[in-house]
Amino acid sequence: SAVISQKPSRDICQRGTSLTIQCQVDSQVTMMFWYRQQPGQSLTLIATANQGSEATYESGFVIDKFPISRPNLTFSTLTVSNMSPEDSSIYLCSVEREGVSYNEQFFGPGTRLTVL
Amino acid sequence: AQSVTQLDSHVSVSEGTPVLLRCNYSSSYSPSLFWYVQHPNKGLQLLLKYTSAATLVKGINGFEAEFKKSETSFHLTKPSAHMSDAAEYFCVVTINSAGAGSYQLTFGKGTKLSVIP
């Protein structure tokens, strides 16, 4: 398994500001992922972050809005830039661990963001 | 391409009665399938997983799911609901490979389970 922590756990922010969310894993992992869960919705993958390379963004998400850093194998940050109320969501990071026949993903507790 | 459909957005059962949460999937490759549970203000927890081994999969807290390829289904069941089972449940599909694309998790929209005392 993997123990994942996120900071902050929740925040209330003003429109037009930016928030950086931190994700820390208890051991080294190659792949880390950032998801968004809008109110009452399912999880949507924002981007995949591999250490030492640029993050890969899914359709509908761009680097200018959601810049990601991955400075080492246990840490990543996601910034939500120039926020609007539509950015109010839970943001989750996850990591992938190789198994015998599949790769399992483990999720952090999430960061609950409210934009006023 | 892969997708997953959870047929019910909300299921309500009485405590002690069976639970059935329905999930159908679509995948171009041999899929791995998962059920995750999310309790209010808590993180996602893996309930169980299917990865091409036994088609009947047993998970934590008495839950199980059966992979039916002919029906492209992976329904989640529990014989007797407990109050602590009230939560949001997500069916998830991914490509069954440790190689290309295995990290492409596709989530269903979720089913909220309510348990009535």
- Nearest-neighbour CA in chain B from A44: distance (Å): 7
| B2 or B90, greater pLDDT | B90
Which of A103, A104, A109 is closest, CB to CB, to B42? A109
* pLDDT tens-digit series, residues B66-110: 999 999 999 999 999 999 999 999 999 886 544 444 467 889 999
Instruction: Look at residue A96 in the predicted model and tell me its pLDDT.
Output: 82
* pLDDT tens-digit series, residues A35-52: 999 988 889 999 999 887
Hey, which bits of chain B come out as E strands? 2-6, 10-14, 19-21, 23-27, 31-38, 44-50, 56-58, 64-68, 73-78, 87-95, 106-107, 111-116
> Which residue on chain B is closest to A107 by alpha carbon?
B44
Q: What is the mean pLDDT of residues A14-35?
A: 94
* CA distances to B28, B50, B56, B89, B105 from B69, in Å: 13, 12, 12, 21, 19
A14 has a pLDDT exceeding 70: yes
Q: Which residues of A touch B53 (CB under 8 A)?
A: 101
Q: Which residues of B touch A106 (CB under 8 A)?
A: 46
Q: Which residues of B touch A42 (CB under 8 A)?
A: 90, 107-110
Helix (H) or strand (E) holding A37: strand A31-37
* pLDDT tens-digit series, residues B15-63: 999 999 999 998 777 788 999 999 887 778 889 988 777 889 999 999 9
Instruction: Look at residue B45 in the predicted model and tell me its pLDDT.
Output: 87
What's B79's DSSP letter? S
| Beta carbons of A105 and B96 less than 8 Å apart | no
| B42 or A101, greater pLDDT | B42
d(CA A4, CA A97): 13
Q: Which residues of B touch A99 (CB under 8 A)?
A: 51, 98
Instruction: Look at residue B101 in the predicted model and tell me its pLDDT.
Output: 46
> Which residue on chain A is closest to B43 by alpha carbon?
A109
What's B30's DSSP letter? P
Alpha helices in chain A (DSSP H): none
User: Would an 8 Å CB–CB cutoff place B27 in contact with chain A?
Assistant: no
* pLDDT tens-digit series, residues A67-94: 999 999 999 999 999 999 999 999 999 9
| Beta carbons of A42 and B52 less than 8 Å apart | no
| Cβ proximity of A26 and A3 under 8 Å | yes
